[in-house]
Amino acid sequence: MSDIIILGTGPAGISAAAYTTRAGLKTTVIGRDGGALLKAHQIENYYGFSQPVSGEELIRTGMEQARRLGAEIVNDEVVGIAYDGEFVASGISGTYRAPAMILATGASRGAPKLEGLRRLEGRGVSYCAVCDAFFYRGKHVAVLGNGEYALHEAMELLPVAGSVTLLTNGKEPSVEIPEEIKVVTQKLDRLEGDPVLTGVVLEDGGTVPVSGLFVAMGVAGSTDLARKLGAQTKGSAIVVDSSMQTNIPGLFAAGDCTGGMLQVAKAVYEGAQAAAGAIKLVRERKNA
């Protein structure tokens, strides 16, 4: 088992790993791709490069640095996190456990543009199956998404809800969907219901009557993951204290996922700060 799991192999995650490995913590870093830096062609405002450097180059050298220092870097997509005395990250390819965790999964995606979505948040629209499934016992619910993350959320709901429909909003499912889950691939027009959600209206005018809609598009974002453990979020940012710890002891967050300035320098600083907090916590627990 690792001493710490870091979710994200961007500047925040890799910076954190540089500190945790050098402090002797067995460190596992999980990432699914290069993150925001993949889109940054030229960076010339980060310390130490006399010439512009590409985001891809920064990712490559960062990963090499973390590996050289002893971090285990795993390529996986995390679809859920939980706490059972240790932090547990569930990936598509494996399960990872540690007494401390740093979320460094970058900025959260915005919510889909769907009429009624914002208005019905907390009134039928949810972003966390494990948190809210209980409220939909025996009721008809839908999951909005078409990938591994949507399937994971649908599977959380299946034992509890009366029925689960996957709404892919015009996309084909990218994973195999068990037959207990109904799949509707038509594009969505809007959500209806006042004051609470009663259904999802499709582009052709048909309606899927549901009491709950769980948004799980694309990959689980940082706030999606944070909410699964009850960590406090504000808008699309995870709320942290000055040591980058969330309101859940042992769960830290760093980089774009905490909001503010979305820059490499800030991600690197926060990664280091989160690592310092996590190192202290792991050492205290080992000596307890």
Tell me which of 88, 239, 248, 262 binds ligand FAD, using CB under 6 A: 262
Contact between 11 and ligand FAD by CB under 6 A: the answer reads yes
* Side chain identity at residue 42, one-letter code: Q
Going from the C-alpha of 242 to that of each of 30, 234, 239, the distances in angstroms are 24, 16, 10
229 binds ligand FAD (CB under 6 A): no
Nearer to ligand FAD, 45 or 287 (CB): 45
- Binding pattern for the stretch 39-68 against ligand FAD, x by CB under 6 A and - elsewhere: xx--x-xx----------------------
**H helices within the chain, ranges in order?**
11-22, 55-68, 129-132, 148-157, 222-228, 264-287
- Chain centroid to Cα 93, Å, comes to 16
Surface-to-core class of residue 134, CB atoms within 10 Å of its CB (0-12 exposed, 13-18 middle, 19+ buried)? exposed
Rounded to whole angstroms, the Cα distance separating 182 from 51 reads: 53
Partners of residue 141 on adjacent β-strands: 164, 212
Question: Closer CB to ligand FAD, residue 147 or residue 199?
Answer: 147
User: Which of 18, 30, 143, 279 touches ligand FAD by CB under 6 A?
Assistant: 30
Distance (Å, whole) CA 205 – CA 107: 34
Closer by beta carbon to ligand FAD, 11 or else 212: 11
32 in contact with ligand FAD (CB under 6 A): yes
The reply to whether omega before 195 is within 30° of 0 (cis) is yes
Instruction: Select from 23, 26, 36, 201 the one that contacts ligand FAD (CB under 6 A).
Output: 36
- Smallest gap from residue 281 Cβ to ligand FAD (A): 21
In whole angstroms, give the CA distance from residue 103 to residue 116.
Answer: 30
Among 3, 6, 31, 278, binds ligand FAD (CB under 6 A): 31
Of 3-11, 136-144, 164-172, 238-246, the segment contacting ligand FAD by CB under 6 A is: 3-11
The smaller minimum CB distance to ligand FAD, of residues 211 and 233, is found at: 233
Which residue in the set 4, 5, 9, 223 belongs to the binding site for ligand FAD (CB under 6 A)? 9
Rounded to the nearest 10 degrees, the angle between the axes of helix 264-287 and helix 11-22 is 40
82: contact with ligand FAD by CB under 6 A: no
- Site residues (vs ligand FAD, CB under 6 A): 7-13, 30-33, 35-37, 39-40, 43, 45-46, 77-78, 104-106, 219-220, 255-256, 262-265, 267
